[in-house]
């Protein structure tokens, strides 16, 4: 399975010539050269994780592609058919098996309502928590860990990596940072994953790693 990072929080997973897209949002350039799209996962409703333009472009190329997200996504994206998923749900999108965790977005501020958010594990190897520190409670081979956000304190992100204890990790959710700030955050996540003998991967937009 090939995991590719794009700008901010957008990811694609490619297996056996089929693609899963996760969180194509407002900071992400158009996704091109997609092979046989089998599904789109949106972890929550914030526009940096999905936009109508991205969905329209993907659905034009691959009509009737199913979209999955928590109930808040279905309400925000009312013009699209979104299949609701909740923590504990699993689904099969051959060749992908998806399992969902968490349920709530990390707190930004007490004045801002907390919304639905799901983390997603794919094929029991790759895990991405969306905008949360939801720990899946099972072994993770590759973790996409948020490194910068209005809700994120780097010490909490480090603790998240320490709790998950993946074999490999790379930083995501990073377009709100300067290059210097992003690299500082990456260095902290590198320290955290190495405490358990894991490896930090430097992935910039368009870079991939294989599982």
DSSP character at residue 139 = -
Q: Check residue 121 and give its pLDDT.
A: 98
Which CATH number covers residue 147? 3.60.15.10
For residue 207, is it within any domain?
no
For residue 7, is it within any domain?
yes
Domain that holds residue 128: 2-202
Q: For the chain, what is the domain count?
A: 1
Q: Check residue 53 and give its pLDDT.
A: 98
For residue 70, is it within any domain?
yes
For residue 209, is it within any domain?
no
For the stretch 28-40, pLDDT in tens is 999 999 999 999 9
For residue 208, is it within any domain?
no
Which portions of the chain are predicted below pLDDT 50? none
Q: What is the full DSSP assignment across the chain?
A: -EEEE-STT-EEEEETTEEEEE---TTSPPP-S--SEEEEE--SS-TTS--HHHHHHHHHHSTT--EEE-HHHHHHTTTS-EEE--TT-EEEETTEEEEEEEEEPPP--TTS---EEEEEEETTTEEE-SSS----SS--SEEEEE---TT--HHHHHHHHHHH--SEEEEES-TTS-HHHHHHHHHHHHHHHHTTT-EEE---TT-EEE-
């Amino acid at each position: 399975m090939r995991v590719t990072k794009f700008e901010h929080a957008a990811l694609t997973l490619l297996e056996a010539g089929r693609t899963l897209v996760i969180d194509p949002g407002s900071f992400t350039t158009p996704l091109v050269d997609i092979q046989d799209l089998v599904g789109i996962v949106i972890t929550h409703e914030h526009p940096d994780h999905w936009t109508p333009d991205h969905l329209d472009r993907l659905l034009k190329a691959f009509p009737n592609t199913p979209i999955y997200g928590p109930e808040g996504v279905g309400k925000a994206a009312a013009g699209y058919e979104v299949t609701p998923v909740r923590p504990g749900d699993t689904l099969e999108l051959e060749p992908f098996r998806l399992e969902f965790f968490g349920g709530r977005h990390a707190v930004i501020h007490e004045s801002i309502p907390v919304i639905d958010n799901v983390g997603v594990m794919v094929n029991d190897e790759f895990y991405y928590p969306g905008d949360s520190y939801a720990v899946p409670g099972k072994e993770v081979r590759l973790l996409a860990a948020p490194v910068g956000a209005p809700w994120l304190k780097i010490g909490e992100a480090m603790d998240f990596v320490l709790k998950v204890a993946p074999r490999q990790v790379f930083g995501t959710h990073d377009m709100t940072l300067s290059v210097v700030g992003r690299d500082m955050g990456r260095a902290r996540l590198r320290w955290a994953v190495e405490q358990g003998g894991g490896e930090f991967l430097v992935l910039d937009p368009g870079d991939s790693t294989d599982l």
